[in-house]
Structure formats: C-alpha cells, structure tokens
Chain A
Amino acid sequence: MRRTHPLRSPGRRLIRSLTAVAATAGLLAAGLATLPQVAAEDAGNLYNTDVDIRMGQRYFERQCSRCHGFDAKGNDEVGAPDLTGSLRNASTDASIFNVIREGVSGTAMLPVAADVPDPTVWQLVAFINSLRYDPNSVTLEGDADSGLALFNGRAECNSCHMVDGRGGRLGPDLSRIGEDNTPEDLMLAMTNPHEQVAPRWWTLRVTGSDGIEREGFRMGEDSFGVRIMDVDENLWSFRKSEIESYERIEDSTMPSYEGRLSDDELDDLVAYLFSLRREVQPQ
C-alpha cells in the first residue's frame, strides 16, 4: 500500500475535487447538525468540524495506530483492516461508532475504554470518515480514455503491468489500483516510484555457489531461503545455505515518468488508473 504524500510539485493541477468533496462533506455535516442526536442507532455526527477531525486524528494516532497504522491503512500482521476504503463491519456513522464503542467480538478489535466520552468516539468517526470519499464524485483533469491509450501504447506501461489479465508480470497487477489509492497516490507512483516500494517489488541479487548472479523480484524471503522471479519471468528458489550471498535492492525497477511524459499525459494516466475498480455487480 502506498502512503499518501504531499505532492512534490506544488503547481500540479491534478485534482480539482478533493477539496470540493471535503467542502460537500462539511455542508452535509452542517445539515445533519441541525438534527437532534438521540443514540448511536440514529445516524448523524454532531462532532464533524475540522477541529473535531483533528482531535479524532490525534486520538487515533495515540490509541489506534499501533494496530491500524498512522495512515490508517491497516496492518496484516494483527489483521487490523485498512480504514481508508470501504469498511466491512460498518457502513454508517452509527455503525462505525458502535464498532469503536463495542469492538468486534472475538477479534483484537477491543472496545474503547468505558470512560472515553461519546464526543471523542464521534470525533474518531469524523476522522475515519475524513479518510474516505466517494470516488464517483471526484472529477479529474485528465481523460481516462486517453490514459488507457497511453498505458497500452506509447508509454508501454502494459509491458510491466497487467490490467484484467493482459500485460506484463514485471510490476503489480493494476486491475483494481483505483480502489485504495487516491489520485495523488497514483500520480506519485508514476513520478516518484522509489518513494514507497512494497517488499514484493524489491530486487534480490543472488550470487550462487557457482558464482552466477541471478536477479529478480523478491517473491519470498525468509529465514532460510529466498525466492525470486527474474526478468524472463522464471521462478527461482534458493536455500540460503546453498548460495554465496545475496543483496537486497529496495529501489523500484519502474522508471520515473516525471519529465518523460507531459503533465497532461500524466493527468490522463491518473484518470485511467483511478477508474480501475472492480465493478460492483448489480444484484
């Protein structure tokens, strides 16, 4: 998962809408604020101002981040889910409130301490909501169709990446990349690929006991062995005891497209990548 970083070049006119979404959310909250707040079963969060969100964030960082991460993107090891996408157990403000208040029984997700006042829990709800937005309401500068044409055409992204079963194996499958990445994340992935490289995409350079060097993506690395896929897409497994040495390279093998593609082209690619979500099947 790629963390959200502030855009490097401040002038980039990538996104019109994120602020617009935030503004809508503010309006919505203002509207809701006129409703009387009865119980958690009745939706409506009174604590939804920018200040509340910041308070919620502060509390989150202290009490929740050790499992869900500072970026709230989750942690596989403890099984704490990503809270920035759609939630499994909680679809409304009230249900998020209830999950925090009551926990999820039988899991590491414990209820908050009983002496934590409701307003603090509502601020957490506001913070979690601020991490999410409706992707359909985002309007981007770029044009997704032109992005698609670039992706499979001149930019040759498909030589490394698969989308819906077509493309290369030398980069992550991007079929659903729009689901848990903001347009900013996607722009950064192209302009600054070295910033965050998932361990799966590190390179391992293995020197065999025969002196031959083999290099490839890190498909697995454990206490006693390493497994790689080389550029010819061969899979290799080595026991550490049977090799001379190996080296880990944590840079991305993806070139930066900053300067290689025009700002317009990058915007088009972002629009295309952002559109890559699994279609929800009509029931």
Chain B
Amino acid sequence: MITMKRSSIALLTSLSALSISSTLAQEDQFSTVITPAFSPITWERLVDARNEPENWLMYSGTLDSQRYSLLDQINVDNVDQLEMKWAYQIPVIDRAETVPLVVDGIMFITEAPSNVVAVDARTGREYWRYDHEMPDDLRICCGRNNRGVAILGETLFMSTLDAHLVAIDARTGNLLWDTEVARHDAGYSKTAAPLIVKDKVVTGIAGAEFGIRGFIDAYDPETGERVWRTYTIPGPGEFGNDTWSDDSWRTGGASTWITGSYDAELNQIYWGTGNPGPDWNGDVRLGDNLYSDSVLALDGDTGAIEWHFQFTPHDVHDYDAIQVPILADLEINGEQVPAMMWANRNGFYYTLNRATGQFLFGKPFASVTWAEGLDPVTGRPIRVAGMAPTYEGIMVSPPIVGATNWYSPAYSQDTELFYVTSFDGEQEFFKRDEDYEEGERFTGGGGRYTQPMDAFHSSIRAINPKTADIEWEFPIMPRSSAGITTTAGGLVLTGSADGYFFALDAESGRELWNISLGARVHAAPMTFAIDGEQFVTVASGNVVYTFGLRD
C-alpha cells in the first residue's frame, strides 16, 4: 500500500502556512494554484461565449461559428515559443475528429466510436469516462468517429454512431438519458456535435449513403423527448415535394451530419444539408431535389423552415452542403449586412444575407469544371453540359471529396477574412443502376482518381467575404481535412494531411510555426485558458495534443 499518510511535520508547516496567509495575502495568491471546476453553463453564457474566451463552450466556439477566439496571449510574435504540454491517447484506435470543449478547466474529449472522457485541461489526466454501449449490427458509411459534445447546465449531449442522442452528467459521466433518434439498422448514424438553442438540443443525422430521409431534430435537455422534427425533404403536399420524381423523395438522403449555427437576434437556426440519394445517379430522382445540398434557416423555437438556399440543385456529384455556416455582420458597399459565409463542397464561395436567404454574390474558390459560374441574381449554378456521371466515367472537378468538406472554416474579426481548407482536384465520376434496399448502401455510382493524390494542389485560402476574392493562399500537401481556428493574436491555426499542426499570420498567410505530430489532423484546433495561461489543443491521429508557451 502506498498510502501517503500526512506526517505531523507536514501538518505543522501547513498550519503555519495558514496562519501567515492572511498577512501575506499577495503571496497566498500565488500559492493557490487551482480553482475548482465548474459552474453550470447557462444559455446566456452560450450566447455570450465569445466573451469568456478562456472556455470553449461549443463545437464551433460561438453560436455564429466563427471559430474566432479573443485570446491573444499566444500571438504572431511568440507562437514559435509553443511547446507540448500534454498528450491524451484515445484508447480505441481510430481517427480522432473531436473538437474538445473546455469548461472552467475541464476538457471534454469525444472518442471513437462514441465515448467521452473528462480530463483536467492542464494535465490531460482523466476525471471520468463514458463508454457508449454499441449494438453489433451498425451500418457506417464513413468511419467510426465522433466530433464533439454540446453542454447546457451540467449536462453534456452527444451523438452516437447507433443514431442515439445521449445526455451525460458532466461531473460524473453518469448516463442521464439515452434517446433513439433513428433506427441504426436502417442506415442512420450520428457523429456531429449537437447545438444548444435556448432550452433545446438541436441535432442532425447521417446516412445519406443508405437512402435515408434527412431531418433536423430538437430535444428536451431534461427528458430527452423530441420537441420537433423538420424533414430536409418535404413530404407530399408540402412545398418542394414536386422537385422529386415519383417516390424518390422517400429515400432522397439530404442528411444533416455537421453542426449548424444560430443567430439569437433573428432567432434562426442555420443548418447545411447533404447530397440527394442515390449520390451519383440522378435519373431516378429528376428535379431540383429540395432541400438537398442547401442551407436551411429554421425558426429557433418551432423548427419551421423560414427560408432555404440550394447551392447545388439536382446534384449528381455528392456535393453535400455539409459545411458549418459562419455568421458575421459585414459592411458591403456601404451597407451593414447580416451575412452568412459559405465555401461549398461544390467549389463555389457564397455570401448570403442570413436574414432573408438572399444570394449576394459568389465565385469559385477552387478548381471547378462542372459549372461556368453562378447566376448573379439567384446564385444558381450555370452548369456545363455533359458533366453528369456516365456509365463509362467522366472527369469532373471538384472530385467527390469536394473543394472543401465538413471541416470547419473560420473567420477573423480582425482581418475580416474567411479561411477555408481547399482542394483543387479532379476525378472520374461514373454512375450505376441500383435499387434501394433498407439498410444497404444506395449511391448509384462512384469516382476514381486517375492521378496520384500528390499531383493535386491543396491550400489554406483566405477569402474576402465582401468580394469573394482570394486574398492569399498557403499551399499544403493534399488532401487536408483539418478545420481552422483564428485568434485575436493574429493567428490562423490548422493542420494538414501529412501530420503537421501549424500557425499562419492571419493577415498575410505567412508561416509562423509548425510541428510534426506524425499523423493526419482530421479535426479543428481550439484554444482556451486556465488561470490566465492560454493553450491550444488539436487532435492528430489518435491523440489529443495540448500546447502552451514555454514556461
């Protein structure tokens, strides 16, 4: 037994320390090295999350999803002084796509397949863990991963691969409730972090490769009961149902597998939707296929659709609009505009008016061959003829993985630039005839590269959201799936496919610092502070690393 019994000597010193502490209050401050965790997270705190930058309270940092932190202790001048403070190894080997939350010194990390661990954010050492019990008949299209939790009060909310939503006590890891969102054996699954909107947990669904009908749901955080569900494909009699030929709307996909954003003043939830199903064979679903590949604005209380904007009508290339909507108020041509910035998987960048859904302008931010441009009034793509997948295959850019994808872009309030991980690639698309069978893959084709990946060009691009012009780019090796975070320290923080974590100057794109972590960065970095000391955290491979300035 290695019990450390308190010796009488230790007792004496501590008592004397106590007696002088009142007279030496100043020194006492330094000896009190810790503060307890944590105080409950109210909705007001979530709305005002930017103003407590020591915490990272939701997947995208703030409800506007800018991923812009006010912390500036680590900045352009000293970022090269970063050193590793700790690493947390995820026990189940898979790829980590987690963006951890930090709440008053506690970090919540999600793990594959659907587990969550609470660690001390200063040391990375565990308080508790929750291992989700998984059925053995899972259908998973794209890896066993989990991107993060949401917090409200003292409860964490997590999506699970078996298409459940679970509530977990943030202090103990106890399971509070476990709600089936959809049937996993019909192909549904869940990987994205939920979004708290007032007193509800809003969450999406994955599974468009299995011919599901997508939706966005809201749940009661206390009971786990569903409050509303908004289908992303209109039913019979509803507006837009006639944009699907025959019964194709039933298996039309339009999943919602990334986290959305919220505007408290407009009381609107914004959420991107995925591709129509089957992905590459549009013959069986003629029409625009609303609301696939769209952004939906939902009423923050009822989930009713207030407006929609479809980026890619009748998509046959798997160009999901599964991107995180970034919201900011921009001055465009002398006018204050409630804007939404969106770099789409289809290769175009868009600035929309988020109050109305009106298209303002847009242009390609990466290589695009399937469309010539966007209609200047409606924003609808002007297609190049003959670019739909054929039985033999046809070369199209962007490839299936897209000009960008689900990985978070970011915005900086200082530079007023929008940053996105982009890929200039091309691929042969082909189609197949396929019948729908519940729980089976339903894609109708696929793609193949005819060149090695290293032949393509990848970069971090900084886009001016007032003009859609590219201001600078920083080339990296293909094909990155890392998200981006910006800070008031003038930094753009991101990672690469070849395992680097690095910092760029947000103004110029100049390289400031990099470190090889040895495995692909699949996640977005985040930043937080404890007792005034700033840290940055990023997952690479199967490990979560935390960096801080050299002591």
Spell out A's residues near B (CB within 8 Å).
162, 164-165, 169, 173, 175, 205, 207-212, 219-220, 222, 224-225, 227, 229-230, 233-239, 242, 244-248
Contacts and interface: CB of A to CB of B under 8 A. Distances in A.
Given A209-B17, A233-B171, A237-B125, A248 B32 contact: no
**Across the A-B interface, the 5 shortest Cβ-Cβ residue pairs:** A165-B176, A234-B36, A211-B18, A237-B120, A211-B14
Nearest to B28: A210
B385 interface: no
B347 interface: no
B123 interface: yes
Contact of A211 (B17, B38, B106, B128): B17
A219 B105 CA distance: 15
Interface stretch (B2-10, B232-240, B325-333, B472-480): B2-10
A79 to B, nearest CB: 11
A164 B5 CA distance: 38
B26 interface: no
B17 A236 contact: no
A235 B28 CA distance: 21
A245 B3 contact: no
B106 A235 contact: yes
B239 to A, nearest CB: 37
A165 B167 CA distance: 9
Given A165-B167, A212-B18, A235-B37, A245 B172 contact: no
Contacts of A239: 33, 123
A207 B128 contact: no
Contacts of B384: none
Contacts, number: 111
B107 to A, nearest CB: 11
Main secondary structure of the interface of B (DSSP, over half): mixed
Contacts of A222: 125
A222 B33 CA distance: 19
A238 B36 contact: no
Contacts of A235: 36-38, 106, 118, 127, 171
B175 interface: yes
Contacts of B171: 169, 229, 233, 235
Interface in B110-150: 118, 120, 122-123, 125-128
Contact of B177 (A165, A209, A227, A238): A165
B81 interface: no
B15 interface: yes
B377 interface: no
A255 B33 CA distance: 34
A143 to B, nearest CB: 27
A207 B127 contact: no
User: B18, B33, B171, B174 — which one has the most chain A CB atoms within 10 A of its CB?
Assistant: B174
B450 interface: no
B169 interface: yes
B13 interface: yes
A229 B13 contact: no
A165 B155 CA distance: 10
B174 A238 contact: no
Given A211-B14, A236-B34, A245-B6, A175 B175 contact: yes
A144 to B, nearest CB: 21
Contacts of B126: 219-220, 227
Given A162-B172, A227-B126, 10 more contacts: A208-B14, A209-B33, A211-B17, A220-B125, A224-B123, A227-B125, A230-B36, A237-B105, A238-B34, A247-B5
Given A169-B169, A236-B36, A219 B13 contact: no
Nearest to B13: A244
A165 B120 contact: no
Nearest to B168: A165
Contacts of B167: 165
Contacts of B38: 235
29 contacts: A165-B175, A165-B177, A175-B175, A207-B14, A208-B31, A208-B33, A209-B14, A210-B17, A210-B32, A211-B15, A211-B16, A212-B18, A219-B127, A220-B126, A225-B123, A225-B125, A227-B126, A230-B36, A234-B37, A236-B34, A236-B37, A237-B122, A237-B127, A239-B33, A244-B6, A244-B14, A247-B4, A247-B5, A247-B6
